[in-house]
Structure 1
C-alpha cells in the first residue's frame, strides 16, 4: 500500500486566468492505493457524500485508467468539493503520483500533469492544468501551451471558504468571451507584477498584481459578501484579495505577522453577511508527497 498527500491549490490569482496556480500548505487530500485486478474507490472526509465512487465518474478512476494501473483507492478528502481550492485536482494529482509509483511507470511529475488534468475534466468539463500542476509540482506555476514554469515561492496567505457552493461549470459560464484592449493591457501588467512578486517572495507585489477587471468581477458577483470580506481583509493588513479559482473561497495575500488578523477579519465579515466560513492560515507550499505504509 502507498499513501500520497496532495495539497489544495488556488488558480487564476486574479490576473492569471487559466494560467497561474499555487499549491497551499493546507488543506490537502490523502489518497491510499493498493494493487488490484480492477479499480474500486472509497471516499471519506469533507463533502465525501457528494463524490461518486464509480471509477467512471471519479477523477481518480480516470487517472487509473490512463496509467493502466487498477487499484483499490481510498480518498480522504481534506479539500471540500466546489470550494475553489482545487478539490478534484488534489485527488487526481495524489492518485497520479501514487499509481505511477505503485506500478513503477517511471513518469516525471511534469509528465503526470496532463494525466491528472484528464481526471479533472470529469468535473470541470475541460482538461485544465492550472490546479493539477501546482498540486503535483508545488510552489507557483505558470501553465501555457508551451509548457509549465514552476517557482518555489514563499508567500503567506489566508484562504477563507464560506459555506456556500458555486460549481466550476457555473463559474466558467460567467467568463466574458471578449474584453476591451485597455482591460487586457492592464491585466497583463498585473500578471507580470504578480509573477515577479512570487519570484521575490514579495507580498506587496503579489497583492498588487492580483488586480483584474475582466474575469474576477463576474465571479465575485456570485459570492454573497465578497465586497465586504475583501474590504475587511485589506483593512486588517492583506496586500491583495481575489477569488480563488472558481470560488467561493476568497484568497488573501499578507505578511506572516498579519495572517491571523486577516483570517479573523474575513470570517467576521462573512458572519456579518449571515454566512458561516472557515479560514485557512496557510502559505505557498510543496507538491504531492509520497508516504510508504
Structure 2
C-alpha cells in the first residue's frame, strides 16, 4: 500500500488564467492505493458524499487508466469539492504519484503532470494542468505549451472559502471569449509583475500582479459578497485579492503578520453578506509527498 498527501492549490491568481498555479501548505487530500485486478474507489472526508466512486466519473479513475495501473484507491478528502482550491487536482496528483510508485512506472513528477491532467478532464471537460502542476511540483508554477516551470516561492496567503458551490464547468462558461488590446496589455503587465514578485518572494509585487480585468470580474459575479470581501481584505492589509481558481474561494496575498487580520476580515465580510465562510491562514507550500 502506498499513501500520498497532495495539497490544495490555487490557479489563475488573477492575471494568469489557465497558466499560473500555487501549492498551498493546507488543506490537503490523502490517497492510498493497493494493487487490484480492477480499479475501485472509496471516498471519505469533507464533501465525500458529492464525489462519485464510479472510476469512469472520478478523477483518480482516469489517472489509473492513463497509467494502466488498476488499484483499490481510498481518497480521504481534506479539500472540499467545488471550492476553487483544486480539490479534484489534489486527488488526481496524489493518485498519479502513488500509482507511479506502486507499479514502479519510473515517471518523473514533470512527466506525471499530464497524466494527472487527464483526471482533471473528468470534471472540467478539458485536461488543464494549472492545478495539478503545483499539486505535484509545489511552489509557483507556470504552465505553457513549452511545458511547466516551477519556482520556489514563500508568500503568505489567506484562502477564504464560503459555503457556496461553484462548478468548474459553470465558471468556465462565464469566461469572456474576446477582449480588447488594452485589457490584454494590462493583463500581460500584471502577469509579469506577479512572476517577478514570486521570484523575489515579494508579497507587494504578487498582490499588484493579481489584478485582472478579463476573467476575474465575470467569475466574481458567481460569488455572493465578493467585492465586499475583497475590499475588507485590502483594508486589513492584503496586498492583492482575487478569485481562487474557478471559485468560490477568495485568495489574498499578504505579509505574514497580517494573515490573522485579513482572514478575520474576509470571514466577517462574507457573514455580512449572509454567507458562512472559513479562512485558511496558509502559504505557498510543497508538492505531493509519499507518506
TM-score bin (small chain)? over 0.9
Query: Does residue 192 of the first structure (1) align with residue 169 of the second (2)?
Result: no
Residue 230 of structure 1 corresponds to: 230
TM-score when scaled to structure 2?
0.99
Written as runs of structure 1 = structure 2, the 5 A alignment for 1:127-206 is 127-206=127-206
Structure 1 Cα separation of the partners of residues 221 and 96 of structure 2: 35
> Which residue of structure 1 lines up, in the alignment, with residue 118 of structure 2?
118
Q: Distance in 1 between matches of 2:182 and 2:106?
A: 46
1:39 counterpart = 2:39 = yes
TM (norm. structure 1) is 0.99
Give runs of aligned pairs for residues 1-293 of structure 1, distance below 5 A. Answer: 1-291=1-291
Deviation at 1:38, TM superposition (A): 1.0
**1:165 alignment partner, SS class:** coil
Structure 2: runs of 5 or more not aligned? none
CA displacement at 1:37 relative to structure 2: 1.1
User: Aligned-pair distance for 1:26?
Assistant: 0.3
Indicate the RMSD between aligned Cα atoms, in angstroms.
0.5
Q: Aligned-pair distance for 1:153?
A: 0.4
- 1:174-213 Cα deviation digits (max 9, x unpaired): 1011101000000100000000000110000000000100
Runs of 4+ in structure 1 deviating by more than 6 angstroms, as ranges, are: none
Cα distance between partner residues in 1 of 2:218 and 2:54: 34
| Corresponding residue pairs, total | 291
Structure 1 residue 35, shift from structure 2 partner: 0.9
Distance in 1 separating the partners of 2:209 and 2:66? 37
Structure 1 unmatched runs, 5+: none
Distance 2:271 2:176 in 1: 31
- Partner SS state of residue 157, structure 1: strand
Distance 1:46 1:93 in 2: 18
